[in-house]
Structure 1
Amino acid sequence: MGPHVVSDEESSFKFTRLQDSEYLVEQQIDIPLASSLTRQYWPQSYERSMDLYSRSPSSETGKSFLQHSKQHYIGKSSDLSVDKCEGRLSEALPLLNSAHTIEDKVCEEGSPADDVRPAFQQQQKSSFFQAVFNGVNMLAGVGILSMPYAVAQGGWAGLSCLLIFAAVCCYTGVLLRRCLDLHPHLSGYPDIGQAAFGRVGRIVVSGLLYGELFAVAIEFLILEGDNLTQLISFEGLNFGFFRLSSEKSFVIISAAVMLPTVWLRDLGLLSYLSLGGVLACITVLLAVAWTGIFEVGFTNHGQLLNLQGFPIAVGLYAFCYCGHAVFPNIYGSMREKGKFSLVLVVSFMVCTIIYGGIAVLGFLMFGDDIKSQVTLNLPRGRVATTIAIIATLVNPFAKYSLTVTPLAAAFEELLPVDLKAWNFTVWGMIIRTLLVVSTVIVALTVPFFAYLMALVGSFLSTTVAITIPCLCYMKLFSGRIPLWERVLIITFVTIGLGACIAVSVWKREMLASVAMR
């Protein structure tokens, strides 16, 4: 069979398909880079565990998910194998079948890598609107609760940062897509890091992604503790020799309730519950608007710019758009990959409207008295308040396990391959329990929702969503980037580094404030 050539008008990369299912990139990728992509470096489980975040809310997808998740479990298994075409571990993970085959037919439309993606990605086809839903669901998270607080800290002018981060992060999402199209072996964010900077790149990118997930899991516990205290009157746990506040008590109780979900190997139900993130955000927005219209009113004005709290606002706004870890999975699951850029634009526009709307409403209602989470300012005992808090609590309950699972899978990869199934299960439960305990310890030590979110947003989110995509793109495309885009990318990197520097200046004051409390 002769070679088939697939071209893409946007990126103009050419791939030649050979009889033995190996692919060469003509005049685009040097041999060392292409060969390095077939080397197996830890971790290998990240992009597959992230598929749980990119499921489409359709009956067909759900049936496929449950079918695969019943047959496979996360981590090592006795049927561990290496896929020759991908050159990566084909561990038994949800949505991943160890017996992959590559279709013989070359796609006539879409990206040049459409026909060489793993079979599990080709089978999980999402429509344009399903991809947008997944994108919005990933971006619209707990950051919505702190938007009014961000306005109080940075002033009205600080809202411009929300728009800037939305535009920059949307563009860097497009850069990730271009990197994925560069070679058929690229299917996840860590793969891009490896392609650009080798083994070190993969480990650094994975470490940043895992660090972000760990911090988000901590945020979920703090959120549960604060909002349960607002919803339920509770004096806290008293152990005789010491007493825990109600917030810290609810953190421990929430972790204990969610621990069994972390032990689960079949996360199908939780992955679908997590799709309610969009509904939860809209519910909170409507509840805040209802409270403002019929009870509190919109009487506060605030100041144009608050330089003292501006670094906190920058970190909070940056945290809102930390969805790049899942973008490759959403891209890989799309039926029409050529529309991925439009998916990003629509997703970011919808989320920016939601974030901006609650930021304006919440601050006009409560002004400088706004707390780190707007739900904590809502009047107690009201129906709207109860609905908003319940919507806020349910989503983290579903997403906590999905957030901890990728970390657990990475550690489970390090376990000896010759472990028996029951030994692996026991060690897996120990690893997952220790991860939950570690998040509880940090949540009890630094129980300040907005401060932690600002730190994560300024350091991890900006690095993952802005700096790393830009650096990888410049490294992989080097001399093929036009001057105007090179200047634009350098500007974006400067913005990302500027956010890190800004929060570093503010960090001393934050630590002093934490110590006083």
Structure 2
Amino acid sequence: MEKQEVSEMYEVSSVHSDKESVAVDLLAERPEQGSNFLAYANVVCVVAGTGTLGLPYALMMGGWIGVGVLLLSLIMSIYTAILLMKCLYYNGKYRLSSYQEIGRHAFGKPGLIAVWFFHTSIVIGAPVMYLILSGTEMAGLIPSAGLSAKVWIWICAAVVAVPFVAMKTLKEVAVMSVFGALATVVLVIVAVRGSIIDMSNPAYADVTHQNVILANLPTTVASISICFGGNVVYMHVEEAMRYPKSWNRVVAAALATCSVLYIATAIPGYLTYGSLAKSPILANLPQDAVTKAGTILIIIHVILAAPILLTSFALEFERLVDVTVARRGVVMERAYRSIIRLAIVGVCGAIACTVPYFGEFLSLLGALGNCTLIFVLPILCYFKLVGWRQMKPYELVWCAIIVVIGVISAVIGSVDAIKALKVAFDNDANK
């Protein structure tokens, strides 16, 4: 890529030519880091997976328009991911370290707190969702063990803790993401196969389909947004890339790959199960050996994906409390880091046992955290750090559309998800 192209991608238009060379140096090759393929696999592994399982249910809530919402979310997510990375290099002098730093540079302490809150809701909330899914599915797979879902949640948490504590950075965790991405592909094949088999099932002969359900549209957008929730790790993935100039291509390819998997799952799933679609879709599929194999694969996937998200959170927290080799020494740094990370896993396990409702938790997480982090904050931070005056009128209109969609979906989606959680708790209490 030419020097001029790099400056167009990552610099403020007012930055002079003497600073452009600094920005190019910041984006120079990093020989000690990982390849573009590992970065691509990292994004696919974190973004795809459990969100895929909720897509037929999302279409059930919003109707066939959900397919259009999915494609629109893809375009918006790629766009905001690129803007976010521009914010990371906005001053042309040095690279910011995190999403939180972007918020602080843009809006001071309020920006730092806002990003920290929504960021934490995702990097802690998503692993919690993974533990809920893996624990409940394990209880169904091995009923003969006599263990409750909560016990399985703690067992899965212990398994997640091993790589999370043992591996320090995303570069070390990246290899796991390749296996997680492959598991997602196989899971999609299982879901499509099960949906096709059930098309002739009399139990689903009278299901209904809707084109648009306006009342549920914000919640549908919120549920679909979880499928593109990679912003929380993008900064760390890019930091671990050997060729940071390739970020735009890597993130576009990764999110496009995820969208292909999503569409392949969503359309046959909703077509077959319609108004009876459940979240996760595993609950609808024929309970045969192939579906059980797919369930095992998704459990493997979430156990591999959880350490990636948790590592992103842990790196920020450890930087905040100054747990470094330079400050603590080799032995104590390792000891402090192990204690912190075990405590993080413990908190995730406790929350998962307290709120064991996958579908409702998925909707809340998508509405509260993802809609804000993916659609709203990248644009607001970009306007503040880089400026909106240099953008063309159609770009400003596009940004306004993204922000409006993000805000409406975050507010209404969160309210609906909280109501659904209350109903789930009340139903359990009345049993």
Q: Is 1:124 paired with 2:121? A: no
> Aligned match of 1:397 in 293, 303, 316?
303
Q: Provide Cα deviations, 1:143-176, integer angstroms capped at 9, x if missing partner.
A: 0111111112222223322122111111112212
Gaps of 5+ in 1: 16-23, 30-105, 238-245
1:11 aligns with 2:11: no
Q: Deviations over 1:462-517 (max 9, x none)?
A: 11111111011111222323333223212211111011122144245324313312
Post-superposition shift, 1:338? 5.4
- The verdict on how the C-alpha distance between 1:220 and 1:28 changes in structure 2, with shifts beyond 3 A counting, is farther
The reply on whether 1:444 has 2:353 as its aligned counterpart is yes
Q: How does 1:220-299 map to 2 (within 5 A)?
A: 220-234=130-144, 236-237=146-147, 246-265=148-167, 270-294=173-197, 297=200, 299=205
Which of 85, 90, 114 aligns to 1:177? It is 85
What secondary structure sits across from 1:372 in the alignment? coil
TM-score w.r.t. length of structure 1: 0.71
> Hey, what's the Cα distance between the residues in 1 that align with 2:246 and 2:309?
28
Task: Give the distance between the partners of 2:412 and 2:151, measured in 1 at CA.
Answer: 34
2:260 maps to 353
Question: What CA distance in whole angstroms lies between the structure 2 residues aligned with 1:125 and 1:370?
Answer: 40
Q: Counterpart of 2:425 in structure 1: which amino acid?
A: A
Q: Which amino acid aligns with 1:446?
A: V
Structure 1 contact 137–278 (Cα < 8 Å) conserved: yes
Give 3-state SS (helix, strand or coil) of 1:305's partner: coil
Partner residue of 1:497?
407
CA contact (8 A) 2:26 2:95 kept: no
Partner residue in 1 for 2:378 = 469
Which range is displaced more, 176-185 or 155-164? 176-185
**Contact 2:59–2:220 at 8 Å: present in 1 too?**
yes
Structure 2 stretches of 5 or more lacking a match?
A: none
Matches within 5 A, 1:474-493: 474-478=383-387, 479-493=389-403
Whether 2:276 is the aligned partner of 1:369: answer yes
Query: What letter is aligned with 1:260?
Result: V
List per-residue Cα deviations over 1:52-86 (Å, max 9, x = no partner): xxxxxxxxxxxxxxxxxxxxxxxxxxxxxxxxxxx
**Partner AA of 2:114 in structure 1:** V
Deviation at 1:355, TM superposition (A): 0.7
What is the CA-CA distance between 1:124 and the residue it aligns to? Answer: 2.7
Q: Which residue of 2 aligns with 1:315?
A: 222
Q: Of the two, which has the highest radius of gyration?
A: 1
> 2:122, 2:232 within 8 Å by CA — same for their partners in 1?
no
* 202-211 or 483-492, which deviates more: 202-211
Runs of 4+ in 1 over 6 A off after TM superposition: 12-15
Hey, what's the Cα distance between the residues in 2 that align with 1:203 and 1:118? 31
* CA positional deviation for 1:323: 1.2
Q: Report the more deviating stretch, 332-341 or 436-445.
A: 332-341
Alpha-carbon offset, residue 6 of structure 1: 5.2
Alpha-carbon distance in 2 for matches of 1:410, 1:136: 22
Identity %: 26
Structure 1 contact 370–377 (Cα < 8 Å) conserved: yes
Correspondence 1:205 to 2:115:
yes
Q: In 1, Cα distance between the equivalents of 2:54 and 2:296?
A: 17
For residues 402 and 65 of structure 2, the distance between their equivalents in structure 1, rounded to whole angstroms, comes to 20
Moved more, 440-449 or 264-273: 264-273
Q: Between Structure 1 and Structure 2, how many residues are aligned? A: 414
| Aligned AA (1:250) | W
Higher RCO (CA 8 Å, separation ≥ 6 residues): 2
